[in-house]
A and B are shown apart, each in its own frame.
Chain A
Amino acid sequence: MNQRNPGDGEPEDPQPEDPQPEDPQPEDPQPGNGIGGDDSQEDEDQEALQTYGREALRFSGRMSAPLPVETSRNFRGTVRQLAKITGRETPVLVLVMVLATMSVSLTVIGPWLLGGATDIIVTGVRQGGIDTDRLQDRLLVIGGVFALAWALGHIQNYLLSGALQRSMFRLRETIEAKLHRLPLSYVDQHARGDLLSRVTNDIDNLSQSLQQTINQMLTAVLTLVGVTVMMLTVSPLLALVAFVTVPLSVVATRIFATRARPRFLRQWRTTGTLNAQAEDAVSGHAIVTAFGRQNQERQRFAEENAKLYDSSRAAQFLSSAMQPVMMLMGNLQFVSVAVVGGLRISSGAITIGDMQAMIQYTRQFAMPVQQVASMAATFQSGIASLERVVELLDVDEISADPEPAPDPPATRGRECSTTSTSPTSPKSP
């Protein structure tokens, strides 16, 4: 099942590094490595530095504060990256939009047409006989509309999955190319487990969540627009009554979404730290065992694991809690349409068919919102992963010098010279 080569645990022999005697600052200062800029945070946790790696700290230290400014900057970069990897699919995406619009339009006029059919029945009952021919014609038309909506929707989904998968292909390609251009100092100074987590777990999570969400979100948003238009057309009064709940849910969504996002980011960062620790304990297994340190390793892991549990649970609840909020909105709409609609039918202002259509619309209105809400969890988790991938893509590269030169090139020597991180003792070979 799992065909990894067990022998590739470590680079066999790190080449003897040439001393760089003139290099006064062989270690840490890493001005341009994307995840810099949080050095101040590190001071808080000096103690933990003894036991955890500094990488681990970098992440955990950063987690302690929400850092809204920084994350929002990342967020913009992330959106840009998302646009970049999907850029080449623009023609397909435009076609997808057109098809989706057509398909959704046909779907949303359905309840209105069905309401008309109900009215034929109601009128027929009141007048002593249903006009079966008219009803049949009507129902056949409705069936045709639905079938066409399906066909268009199917093609749309087909095309969209292709575009998404191709985009993920390109993102993976980009990150692989990036790996070859990362300064060795970056690789050295960042826990390998965390780096691996970014290129495997995060990419994997991203493509999974995009695949699951984008399509549904697109349809959901269009349906929302279509249903709104239809509701206003069928009965402006009932529509307004139903929409009273919308601002409420927008506010609620906002609150939950903004709180969930940093927690997801934190969840993935803790995952990175945990990954790094697992890597340490497993790669150094012989030492851990021969020095009798299994218990300490287990305890350290348990602590980090508990942190991961806390952040995951919070993120999961906050993102899932949008669901009940949306449900409340849907229910309130349903009730208000039923009551106000009932009263208006009595006064003869609208028909039963209209009310039926409006009830279906409120369900259809609540549904995409609920869908978006439930997808939001997955989507946010994916975006958090994308942010981590973008951080990696933003790392300054080694110069485009084609030589694999172990001697530090003059250009951008800063990163390169840090590859010989250790000042070599004069005595050493």
Chain B
Amino acid sequence: MADLLKIENLELKFNTRHGIVKVLDNISFTLKPGEIFGVAGESGSGKSMTAMALMRLIDKKLIHSIQGKIFFRDTNLLELPEKEFRKLRGNKIAMIFQEPMTSLNPVFSIGFQITETLLLHQNLKPKEADEKAIDLLARVGLPDPKKRLKNYPHELSGGQRQRVMIAMAISCRPDVLIADEPTTALDTTVQAQIFDLLLDIQQELNTAIILITHDMGVLAQMADEIAVMYAGRIVEQGLRDQILDTPEHPYTQSLIACIPKVDVRAEAAGKPPADLSEIAGVVPPLAELSTLKGCSFAGRCPKVFDTCSTLKPPHFRLNKTQTAACHLLEK
């Protein structure tokens, strides 16, 4: 099938107090219609920045330069004038955010906020938009949708607000839906409901979803393909099973080791549960990254050796669908 979204060598640099800093380094991936593409990584790895760059939502004052290409079907989004891009944003490419509690405008009703998107992108009369908004709210599983239209965000719970955000995002049947940690702020049972909803929508509308999360466990259930990001770079990418079963990059391996395992039989036998593992250290600050010569993970990598601190590892192709950027693979 033809590619829906194709990102080629995306590179983003910021102006900061510490000088020019590379935020995204050589990001490339493709998205097919209806595919769920997972982006994993810790805080500060550049997951959200990639999404914000796709949506062109990054504050222009921060941007020093942005290079590469982002093809949506045949149009390069980075070359599209702002006015033209606005016709796609919220319409064919939509996004839901990490913070459902604060992502809705507190002074406008739910109905207003949903119909605003509909009226903007679709040729609807206000009454038709209202009806469509009711359908959408019912679709995302909000009880009593007609009454909800008149509600204000503060009258809804976090999970309900995220449902409203999803209703808004899918209102124009987008081809691409970017979900940036959509359940981080919600409790566990609600998380599962939201993911079920996203899966339903993906199947019903054949929407491709870019699912950004730090939780490999979620990607194991949802994603078709996974990219693992570290310090602004994709360090490993492949089909879900490849990443989960045969991870080649030490960072991916550590991330997978962090998925908590529940061994029911061991617990029944009275054995204490296994300790949760963690990756020692933190993602190096951006300002340090730009002066780094070698691999950005070298400082935390359990398998580090000489070359790692002197040379940046290129992407090694392991097979038709999997690549990883680690010097170990050269051997």
Do A and B interact? no
Residues of B within 8 A of A (CB): none
